[in-house]
Structure 1
Amino acid sequence: MPVDFGPPRVDPFEQAIELGAGRVRRLRSVPSGPAAPAPVQVRLPRQRAGNCTTAPVRRRPVRRPGVPSAAVASEVARRVSDRRPAPRLRLTRRGRALVRTVVLVALAIAAIAIAVSSRADDVTPVSSRSMVVTEHDTLWTIAEEASPSRPRSETMAKIRELNHMPDATVHVGQRLLLPAP
């Protein structure tokens, strides 16, 4: 049986282009007659290394750096169109309990912080001044020395309030806190 090593026979209405790695793309023109011939797939023979008598076939097109190819652009467009909106977050019973606990703890901390700061506003400043009662000292003389510019009765009332004294009696050796001048 004779073997034909000539070019493959091709249907006149069809052409094939080798894309590389054995892949073939068929191009068909539409015949003008009533009966169209059946499509024929033509595979071009591969060239073997070392036996080449013709120029090697370039397998990939030249790409300039920084310029995406048409295939990359179509792939990106396909991925963008395939994106779905993110699913809603679903929490288990345990997760909901944890979220509730975290929120309640945060609210409790905020309430405590507000309560402490409001109490700090109500506190009257205590003087760092103090004195020890000596012999012949009375609350009147101590008030006169503590703030000579203010009325004595006001200063005496402040001294009694700061030291939690039920009356104006003072004892020798007693340490008294004095109001700020």
Structure 2
Amino acid sequence: MANTAFSAPLHLVTSDDYLPESQPTLAPLRLTRRGKFVLIGLPIFVVSAAALMLLGLFLSPANASAEVPLGVDAVSVTVIEGDTLWGIAREFAPQLEPRDAVQQIGDLNNLNSSVLHPGAELFVPTGS
């Protein structure tokens, strides 16, 4: 017997339902609550924080005054490494009680703490 190949009958499809789609339809974008926060809330937060920092930068008072207030006798002292308020008060204002001198130095220079940085200029009162 000869080798004969039988093929299945071909079905011709004429229906439009079977035509392959060239592009699949995409579902509409849906955001979760977290997605809405990230998309809307986070940029608002970042812009608000930046605006507050700029306001603080331009509206904050200076930490040290440029000149001695009127009516106060004072000398300008440059802080070197190892200086303390107590040592500066005893060295440059020996006629004053050291505690009072430290308090006046803090008031004259708008100091919030006793930490001194080398190179800073301080006004030290010389009289009472």
With structure 2 as the length reference, what TM-score do the two structures score?
Answer: 0.42
Q: Which has the larger radius of gyration?
A: 1
Q: Structure 1-normalised TM-score? A: 0.30
Bigger RCO of structures 1 and 2 (CA < 8 A, at least 6 apart): 2
